[in-house]
Copies of this chain bind each other. A is one copy, B any other.
Amino acid sequence: MRWNDLREEACPVARGLSVVGDRWTMLILRDCFQGIRRFEKMQERLGITRHVLSDRLKKLENAGVLHREQYQQRPPRHEYLLTESGKALYPVIVTLVDWANANVPARAGSSVTLVNRETGIPVTPMLVDTTTGREITHATVGGRYSEPSDAETSAARSPDDGSA
């Protein structure tokens, strides 16, 4: 499989990674979620070249994750805002933060805690199934794959068939 083919995959992990799997892209999105909108500010925070940042922003725009808005006419200047599709990536960031806080030690003393924006009270994220209210874990939830030709008959393989 070539990386550029990922978007064509039936597997949603591969399709998702075709958009956000690049190593800098998630850090750009992190900054967007923190209200950073302007190219220069992003470049300063990430320490990457203009070329790389410009390329990643263009890809996120093409994928419908960011949209570009002009905030100044002469000379023309733009800023980057999360679309609804982009905002919908927040759970991916939060689950990654939660995992890293528990599993990848930080420098002694420093930390980032997830807190309720209104109350400042720390939050403990848990992924649940809205239908049952039960926690989603690898033991309880899997992926069911359907081939195009099977779609009409709703035929599907078992959750463990290796295609999720």
A residues contacting B by CB (< 8 A) are 1-3, 7-23, 26-27, 30-31, 33-36, 45-48, 63-65, 82, 85, 87-104, 106-118, 120-121, 123-132, 136-149, 151, 156, 159-164
Contacts and interface: CB of A to CB of B under 8 A. Distances in A.
Contact of A85 (B18, B103, B136): B103
Nearest to A5: B47
Contacts of A156: 113
Contact of A148 (B89, B109, B148): B109
Contacts of A15: 100, 104, 106
Contact of A162 (B36, B94, B137): B36
Nearest to A110: B10
| A contacts with B: majority SS | mixed
A35 to B, nearest CB: 6
A100 to B, nearest CB: 3
Contacts of A128: 125-128
